[in-house]
Amino acid sequence: MRGRDVVTVWVPSSSANLGPGFDVLSVALKEPSLRVSLSSTSGDGIKLTVKGRYGEAIQANPEFHSGCKALKRLMAERSIEQGFEMVVHVDIPPRKGLGLSGAEAAGAVVAANELLSLALPKDELVYYASHGEPEGHMDNVSASVCGGFNIVVKDYVTGMPRVYSFRPPPDLGTIVIVPRVEKRSTEEARSVVPRLIPREAMVENVSRVAAVSAGFITGDVECILKNIAWDMVVEKARADSRVYGNGIDWRFLEEEKLHLFKEYGVAETISGAGPSRILWYSISRHSGVIEEALGYVVDRIRELGYGVEAIFKTRPSEIGAYKLPDE
């Protein structure tokens, strides 16, 4: 890319679905993360190169890569007739529920916005980025574009996404545990989500979505921890369909979640479509017990015969994708 204008953006990973908030709630995570570099070329189409810790495991075909799909949508709707070269440095584990495809899509459109001086608002960036995702879901891309805690709403009148973003409480800590479990595709994980649910389950989930949102917006960490772990619809259905691994059904997860909260005051969620788990805790109150809680979860994963690929001791990211200084 030497000799041409290049824009490089840093992009956070994300945890979407966020407990009971399927396709609605998400939060950006400082680590893991990725970088997207984009430059203009004189030719047509998009030339893609994938690098980084997980580069060899990523789809490098522009026809299927989420970043390229999102960029193509932006090009088509904005009548952009030029070529691009995209280099993605991937340090987010693939197929682990940490929003890799959403981060790639977010990075591509934010980089293009900067490179071409489009000055698009955040809602439009989220809209274009969502075209790189299965079924166009917006929770992961909203977190990677906007940062912080996000509520995604589809505008009833225009049909366009509207993202409400809030700064996460500074006392909220997160630990990401990545099991060595081969997950089915996100499309398959979405296919087991029930189309119809009992009224009682709907009421429970809506009440907890409201409580989790209130906790993030007001900075009430205790409110978040009491409500974020309990999804009686999507996470339960996926667990019982073995989406998170053999032996990890709802009974197993419920036992784990109850022990973590009763013993340590720590909440646990499955991140996105799994299989990664996230431990949520108060930094000021739980720092003395969080390592023991982490050990409990790791031991349970290993007892089922799975290894642990990575552990990220991180925090929610207040910021989304942004342009790095020119080198």
Domains of the chain with bracketed CATH: 6-167+317-323 (3.30.230.10), 172-314 (3.30.70.890)
CA 194 vs CA 44, 74, 169: distances in Å: 42, 32, 32
Residues 6 or more apart whose CB falls under 8 angstroms from that of 248 comprise 239, 242, 275, 304
CA distance 37 to 151: 28
CA distance 141 to 128: 9
CA distance 47 to 60: 10
Q: List the structure tokens of 57.
A: 């495991």
CB contact at 8 A, 133 and 101:
yes
CA distance 317 to 148: 6
Helices (H), the chain: 66-77, 100-115, 122-129, 139-146, 186-191, 199-218, 221-227, 234-240, 250-264, 283-286, 290-303
pLDDT tens digits in sequence order for the chain, 327 residues long:
333 589 999 999 999 999 999 999 999 999 999 999 999 998 888 999 999 999 888 878 889 999 999 999 999 999 998 999 999 999 999 999 999 999 999 999 999 999 999 999 999 999 999 999 877 788 999 999 999 999 999 889 988 779 999 999 999 999 999 999 987 666 777 888 888 999 999 999 999 999 999 999 999 999 999 999 999 899 999 999 999 999 999 999 999 999 999 999 999 999 999 999 999 999 999 999 999 999 999 999 999 999 999 999 999 999 999 999 986
Q: What is residue 325's DSSP assignment? A: P
CB contact at 8 A, 20 and 229:
no
pTM: 0.93
CA 226 vs CA 125, 144, 223, 267: distances in Å: 33, 25, 5, 7
Q: What is residue 169's DSSP assignment? A: P
45 phi/psi in degrees, rounded to 5: 80, -170
